Chains A and B, each alone.
Chain A
Amino acid sequence: MAELGRAALVVSFGLAVYALLAGVYSAHHGRRRLSDSARNALLACFASTVVASATLVQALVRHDFSFVYVASHTNRTLPTVYALSAFWGGQEGSLLMWLLILTGYATLAILLNRKLLRDLVAWVVPVIGGIATFFSFVLVFVASPFDTQTAPLDGAGLTPSLQNPYMVAHPPMLYLGYVGLSIPFAFASAAMLSGRTDERWIVVTRRWTIAAWTFLGFGQLLGAHWAYVEVGWGGYYAWDPVENAALMPWLAATAFLHSVMIQERKGMLKVWNMILVALAFELSVFGTFLTRSGVVNSIHSFAKSSIGGWFLAFVVISSVFAVSLILWRLPLLKAKTKLESALSREAAFLYNNLLLVALCLAVLWGVLFPIVTQLVKGESRTMGRPYYDFFLRAFGLPLLLLMGIGPLIAWRKTSVRSLMRTLAWPIVASAVAGVILVFIGAGSSSPGLIAYTFSAFVLGTIGVELVKGTRATGSLFLLISRNRRRYGGYIVHAAVVLFAIGIAGSSAYQTTREIHLRPGQTAEVAGYRLAYQGLDPIRNDPNRTGAYAVLDVSGRWHGTLRTGDVTYTGFQETDRDVGIKTDWLRAQDLYVIADFQKGTPVVFFKVLVKPLVNLIWIAGIVFVLGSLVALWPDAREQRRLATRLAPASA
């Protein structure tokens, strides 16, 4: 079977190369039949990649340990769902998944647009063919998932802490996001290569960008939740380079999603949009380089491998390609109109973009800093959490405020008086919220208080918009369904507000106490009375050894919490199971981590009370809901789109 997988990958590589070369030649010389042939080669590339993927899936399900990859990432006792998830768990499999998603997306994008946008698609094919060539090359020549060996009796298995549903969903979500950013990049490049730099590529790729952005955002939240419930350190984001690798393209894509509206409506920011779409794509590939090359020190364990250099080369080549295209087409990317006022919706979007890109670059600078200092000073230095927290506050809080102002400000220009009249209710809402927050003690953290006040302001603006719109249409449902993009955006904004409240609450207002207790002793933390009952060893379990500390909790909540260390048979590593009680009524978590001391019955407990942390996870659901509303097909919009695109493509 491995031969079939290998052969399918070689075919994928050949077809991708053909799509690249024939695509470039045919698009450049206007050879329609050859162009169709290149397009079909890319579709066939997807088919052969499906064959390769199916071969690997079958080997994983059948525990075929003659595949080195299968033996390295699964064993016979592994449940089928985790055996399947090993497909994207290892390096070679994840690369295959990347190629599968890329060619799958390409197939869909080409089939959906081949008639309306023939001239653009002719150039999209070689661009995606080029990306597919790189990935299939790496899979065929550098990191094949189809290497074979004499089959051992059993495989190495999967680290227990990764046998978690979040870890089944988290990586593919990120891949769907990373790879999804290739499609707008390909269309943007095609627009420049074909010289048709009007708004069509943006209109066509809007949903692709939103989908990729949603996957990337939701994937990060899944990873954060896994860290929170499984890793047992009490946090959910550590500003680690590997985590930042997913955040950076998401920030760039967020900026792009906002600025394309200005180009669609006003014909402005054309160069900026090209830069953003290229930046988002390059950062998605750069993220893979970061995680695979080992050039920066990360707490995440990714096996160092030889593919880092290949990815760096690809990032450099594709960046040079993108920058050259933009410079070449600068004359075609001139704005149709100019910014008329610093107080306008266009200007608000521009400020939003500058802040998002500044935050993205601040994170990038933090990630690259060890490399830069090594090169410049001969000493690698790492940026700590204070650096990232500082820039999150410096750029994130103004962004939060702009999220409220932007949608309410008029296009072209407005006056301060008019703006204040529009924002009167939200300002009142935020002022009232601020006073109440100070009164209940939230003034202990200035950033927290500002975040909450700004959040109230944004929620106020969303409320005003919904009330106004509902009055005009007579129905909230009608209002949203008639302008899904706009109101889907508002729902996403509401999700960001929930997210901000959750982060501010769980970081600025968190209570942390370290206590040590003997059996029978009690302690009180933030209204919770914790009585340590003693150890409960794990008995009669062939797969696990260890013990749990049992705590009876009273006060704000009554019940039992168990937290302890568990060692899994066959894996000489310990998992720390944390005790978490979510108090929905007070919107906070009681989070307890036990630390057993050898030779003494005393147990050290780290107790955290994390207010509003669950809003972060709820925000994820609202975020997806808002994105779905924005993505949902709209017959009226489709008709508008067809009218808009038809004359240009005729």
Chain B
Amino acid sequence: MARSTRSPARLIIALAVAGVLAVFLIYTALAGASTPDVIPSALVHQKPGRIALVGTVVGPITGGSHTAAGLRFGVRDIGKKGPVVKVVYHGDSPPPLFAVGRNVVVNGTYLGGRIQGNGILTKCPSKYTATTSKSY
């Protein structure tokens, strides 16, 4: 068994690999693989493009996701009386928990003051949550 002689080779390799990975990760991350999370009240500053709108569903909910006119509803900031953003959603059926008052994330494109949605996430009851303080 060879005795250790002080050789920085392995450390250098490891640091080099880590450095390359870090740059790669940062590059990939900043190169457009991400989507901005936006709340309705902040949409005024938002450029047109893909976004994830985070907020609470406001009624009325009309239409259907499979129809040409789409499923239509509004979204406002969670727990606030802010502006309501209109959403027109086409695509898969919204999750069963989707309803007025639910907290949701709508993925889609922001254009002309409204969201063309193509994905809805409602909060999943991952923890035993009391009905008196629902937060889905």
A residues with CB within 8 A of B: 72-73, 85-86, 89-91, 156-159, 161-162, 227, 231-233, 242, 266, 297, 299-304, 334-340, 354, 358, 361-362, 365-366, 369-370, 373, 379-384, 386-387, 390, 514, 516, 565, 570-571, 573-576, 593, 595, 597-598, 604, 606
Contact = CB atoms under 8 A, between A and B. Distances in A.
A6 B133 CA distance: 25
B2 A370 contact: no
Chain B, interface SS category? loop
Interface residues of B, number: 46
B25 A361 contact: yes
B81 interface: no
A373 B26 CA distance: 11
Contact of A514 (B64, B92, B133): B92
A232 B96 contact: yes
Contact of B105 (A161, A299, A598): A299
B96 A373 contact: no
B129 A387 contact: no
A387 B28 contact: yes
B111 interface: no
10 contacts: A72-B132, A91-B127, A242-B126, A299-B121, A300-B123, A338-B10, A354-B17, A514-B66, A574-B97, A604-B93
A386 B28 CA distance: 11
A379 B54 CA distance: 13
A32 B26 CA distance: 51
B135 A303 contact: yes
B4 A334 contact: yes
Given A300-B123, A302-B127, A384 B93 contact: no
Given A303-B129, A303-B135, A379 B36 contact: yes
Nearest to A86: B128
A390 B34 contact: no
Nearest to A593: B93
A266 B92 CA distance: 55
B3 interface: yes
The 7 lowest CB-CB distance pairs between A and B, nearest first, are A89-B128, A595-B93, A300-B126, A576-B96, A156-B130, A381-B34, A72-B130
B34 to A, nearest CB: 4
Interface in B1-37: 1-5, 7, 10, 14, 17, 21, 25, 28-29, 33-37
Most interface-central of A91, A300, A380 (chain B CB within 10 A)? A380
B29 A369 contact: yes
B124 interface: yes
Contacts of A390: 28, 33
Q: For B3, B97, B128, which residue has the most chain A Cβ atoms within 10 angstroms? A: B128
A598 B37 CA distance: 31
Contacts of B1: 266, 336-337
B33 A297 contact: no
B21 A231 contact: no
Contact of B36 (A302, A339, A358, A380): A380
Contact of B52 (A91, A339, A354, A382): A382
B44 to A, nearest CB: 14
Nearest to A567: B96
Contact of A384 (B14, B33, B136): B33
Interface in B28-77: 28-29, 33-37, 52, 54, 64-66
Nearest to A597: B64
Given A299-B121, A300-B123, A334-B4, A565 B128 contact: no
A340 B10 CA distance: 11
Contacts of A514: 66, 92
A438 B24 CA distance: 32
A571 B131 contact: yes
Contacts of B54: 297
B113 interface: no
Interface in B85-136: 92-93, 95-97, 99, 105, 121-136
A607 B48 CA distance: 33
Given A362-B21, A384-B35, 7 more contacts: A85-B128, A89-B128, A162-B128, A242-B126, A299-B122, A365-B29, A595-B93
Given A340-B2, A383-B29, A574-B96, A89 B127 contact: yes
B80 to A, nearest CB: 15
Nearest to A394: B24
B132 A387 contact: no
A380 B54 CA distance: 11
Nearest to B95: A233
Contacts of A158: 128
A311 to B, nearest CB: 16
Contact of B35 (A90, A299, A381): A381
Contacts of B14: 354
Contacts of B7: 338
Nearest to A372: B29
B17 to A, nearest CB: 6
B66 A604 contact: yes
Nearest to A577: B96
Task: Tell which of A338, A571, A575 has the most Cβ of chain B within 10 Å.
Answer: A338
B37 A597 contact: no
Q: Pick the most buried of A85, A91, A156, A336: most chain B CB atoms within 10 A of its CB.
A: A156
Given A231-B124, A381-B34, A576-B96, A339 B66 contact: no
A277 B74 CA distance: 48
B135 A301 contact: yes
A305 to B, nearest CB: 11
Contacts of A361: 21, 25
Contact of A606 (B25, B28, B93): B93
Contacts of B4: 334-338
Contacts of B96: 232, 565, 573-576
Contact of B128 (A90, A370, A382, A387): A90
A532 B133 CA distance: 39
Contacts of A595: 65-66, 93
